[in-house]
A and B are shown apart, each in its own frame.
Chain A
């Protein structure tokens, strides 16, 4: 029983990180149909930026803010330079295009930070043991970040007029333009959101999972699977998908074999695409 709880707790934290990455996929895909394969690189870049900023003497919170700002700016630059100029964007085009962007980002990170992994110093707080289950303080930070950022994104889409305008672009792009909402601005904002959520995920996970130029691939793929679990169009679905995937991975790693951990995501992806291509969440007309 303690084992089970232990795996679930570890899974929740990891799932929280996947959820944040998944929100980035959903935010972009819903508005423009673009699958942004550089999403995982946002997390890697943010982790490395935060490590450098902290290394330069900044306290953790300012270091996190610097990393988020840098990555949001990079995300917006990618939208302007690589996405917007394409005249007829299809999902397939976007996959090839952002794969290129992702490779370029990886190369830049490799040049700046070198091939080895780096670890951000842990956030404050001491680890605790509850009912025989040990919980690392950092895991609580990850969950808190997921709740805070995920909640903020959800609130933005559900409660603010600007968020609703993005949903309008996603549901009826033609009608959105006819009432004066610019799809190009909407796409820019969606990249900004994806940059922020990806960056937060990268910074809060860095103390446990470490950051390097190449972690974006796995993180991005896991986030993509989580987003697909949620149907790729729903923030709520992405959060649930991320948590579910994280827990499932840790249960498989704990009870079956540690080596199978990374296989879980892909088995899940194949199963989902075969059985419920629309995602696990019941499909309504609601998007984002």
Chain B
């Protein structure tokens, strides 16, 4: 449903992705782990069109979207919720959500309601500028804004970054509710949380996918335990 083949990408002369092959089935939630600098964010930036691939293909529903500019990729049905949330600070929560439906304005009102069901905390904040929200609320808003486009694939970059455990719990609960409704690729440092919601886990190292398996399989792997889960998982 969503796949990359031999995807190579990076910045100027620096190649970060050195041939990434991944494939997500429809409705699958896949967590992507890896150390800092492994290329996770670069991978997301490349599939969403913020970076031009050096080579390889990106296919969404059989359509080649590799090399399309970001706004076209968004219209093709891939929503990228970027690292650090990047909400529009002076615009209200309602406006942020409304703009999320830029590519499909007809379902805007109905989808804002759906998002408020998914993240009830946003309901009390509707008229507030997004810049005044807490970090957790901004993350919820960023995810909701991405979902407003009714994407086929949602890619999330570190949604738990810098957030309190309670809020991380709320966000992962929302992701669990979205499971099987759409295809999700989740980059996450918080491996424990990611293992609980993921159907499958991929591990990335130095620009390649080096391991793949169900959370149960990988949780038994000594290396994974050591590197990502710590003791006592």
Point out residues on A near B: beta carbons under 8 Å.
161, 164-165, 167-168, 171-172, 174-183, 284-287
Contact = CB atoms under 8 A, between A and B. Distances in A.
Interface stretch (B83-91, B117-125, B193-201, B222-230): B83-91
B102 interface: yes
Given A164-B99, A179-B79, A285-B131, 19 more contacts: A161-B98, A164-B95, A165-B99, A167-B90, A168-B91, A172-B86, A175-B82, A175-B88, A177-B74, A178-B70, A178-B79, A178-B86, A179-B74, A179-B148, A179-B149, A180-B102, A181-B71, A284-B90, A287-B90
Interface in B151-194: none
A230 to B, nearest CB: 15
A246 B232 CA distance: 72
A183 B50 CA distance: 12
Nearest to B92: A164
B129 A181 contact: no
Given A175-B82, A284-B90, A182 B99 contact: no
Contacts, number: 83
Contacts of B105: 161
Contact of A177 (B50, B88, B149): B50
A179 B103 contact: yes
A178 B73 CA distance: 8
A175 to B, nearest CB: 4
A182 B99 CA distance: 12
User: Across chains A and B, which 6 residue pairs bring their CB atoms closest together, nearest first?
Assistant: A180-B74, A175-B86, A286-B90, A177-B70, A180-B103, A285-B89
Which of A168, A175, A177, A284: most chain B CB closer than 10 A?
A175
Contacts of B40: none
Contacts of B102: 165, 179-181
A177 B103 contact: no
10 contacts: A164-B88, A175-B87, A177-B69, A178-B81, A178-B82, A180-B71, A180-B149, A182-B69, A285-B89, A286-B90
A261 to B, nearest CB: 36
A165 B126 CA distance: 18
A168 B99 contact: yes
A167 B86 contact: no
A180 B69 CA distance: 9
A177 B71 CA distance: 5
B66 interface: no
Nearest to B95: A164
Contacts of A287: 90
